[in-house]
Amino acid sequence: MNPFDALRGNEKQKDYFSRQIAAGKLPHAFILEGEEGSGRHTLALAVAAAMAKDEGQTKKIFSRQCPDVREYGLAPEKKTFTVETVRKMKSDAAIKPNDLSFKLFILSSAERMNPQAQNAALKILEEPPQDTYFFLLCESASALLPTVRSRASVIRMERFSSERLEELLLKDPVFAAKKREDPDYFAACLKGAAGCYGRAAALLAGREDSAQKDRANAILAALDPPNRAELLLLCTKLPANRQDFDGVLAHLQQALRDCLVIRSSKAPLPLYFYPEGGQGALSGRLGIDALLRLYDHVEEVRGQVGRNVNMQNARLALFTGLYAIASKG
């Protein structure tokens, strides 16, 4: 089994790592850049498994049971990585490997490292212990200090077109069945995935974040009637993580789509954000044109987020457009 088969698409990325490993020239540090669900973790694990060249170790690596492939992530109660996390990783890197001939470290949400933590990581990234590799996972390498970026090779994960993403999803019989059962819901999940296979799979499996839907609900409530102060507060408090932010926007679009269905009442189309019916208050106050403009505005902001614009600017743009459109009605 080729470990890289675990990753959907990303053929250029997989080919690059395969060639580097075969030639024994794999660099010691990488920044894997991409949205949540883009396959960053899978790629890092596949590299470790390909280097191990052992089927038994491959299973342990992908099941997160190999002691020589370690992951450091953001603690649930923390918003940033601190120096202590980096020091713990450096201490672990100094210990010789147990099962493998190398050690590989995965640092998730690397963009959340504060400047002190990033500076603390510089030395080990520049002069790592022998046979030690580091994979920094982030949404955008630009969020890291230039000194960190200069010490690691940046690999951008592939974002699929809707057509390519659908093609990959339909290779899975479970997702193919979901499309046959409910093509409209399948299409909504495809759109909400923003080109990420992992995100699409999570949406189709019903694992979308309920907190994202709650945030979308609160924004909708602040639009009916428009409450400028409340809406501004909600928008400025939206997640800094681009994938989480986009998830809220996807729910907003889903709700606005339902409002359009309720407003038009031309066909008994299914509702996704308001499945129980009797909801969608905006549909009673705003006309179809205003609802369409709200939908298009959210779509525009999602595009900005996908192009890695400043998140604070994206929040402000969302607020400004939503309030202006809802106020005019």
Q: State the CB neighbour count (10 A cutoff) for residue 113.
A: 26
Note whether 86 and 120 are within 8 A (CB). yes
DSSP 8-state symbol, 223: B
Cβ–Cβ < 8 Å for 100, 68: yes
Q: What is the model's pLDDT at position 169?
A: 92
Domain edges within the chain: 3-156, 160-207, 209-328
Longest dimension (CA), the chain: 68
CA angle, residues 327, 328, 329, in degrees to nearest 5: 90
Burial class of 181 by CB neighbour count within 10 A (0 to 12, 13 to 18, 19+): exposed
Contact 295, 256 (CB under 8 A): yes
**Domain 3-156 and domain 209-328 have a common topology:** no
**Could you report the per-residue pLDDT of 7-63, keeping only the tens digit for each?**
988 999 999 999 999 999 999 999 999 887 889 999 999 999 999 988 788 989 998
Under DSSP, the state recorded for 4 is G
CATH code of the domain made up of 3-156? 3.40.50.300
Residue-wise pLDDT for 199-242, tens only, equals 788 778 765 567 788 898 899 889 888 899 999 999 999 988 77
Q: Is residue 122 within 8 Å of 149, Cβ to Cβ?
A: no
- Expressed in percent and rounded to 5, the helix, strand and coil fractions of the chain are 60, 10, 35
Cis check for the bond before 225: say yes or no (omega within 30 of 0).
yes
**What is the spatial distance between Cα 300 and Cα 288, in angstroms, rounded to a whole number?**
18
Which helix (H) or strand (E) is 282 found in, with range? helix 282-285
Name the band, by pLDDT with cuts 50, 70 and 90, for residue 245: confident
Average pLDDT, stretch 192-200?
81
User: How much is the pLDDT for 73?
Assistant: 79
Dihedral of CA atoms 292, 297, 298, 299 in degrees, nearest 10, equals 90
CATH of 209-328, one of 1.25.40, 1.10.30, 1.20.272, 1.10.3470: 1.20.272
Class of residue 24 by CB neighbours under 10 A (exposed 0-12, middle 13-18, buried 19+)? exposed
**Is it the case that residue 317 has pLDDT exceeding 90?**
yes
- Which secondary-structure segment (H or E) carries 329? none
- To the nearest 10°, report the CA torsion of 112, 113, 114, 117: 170
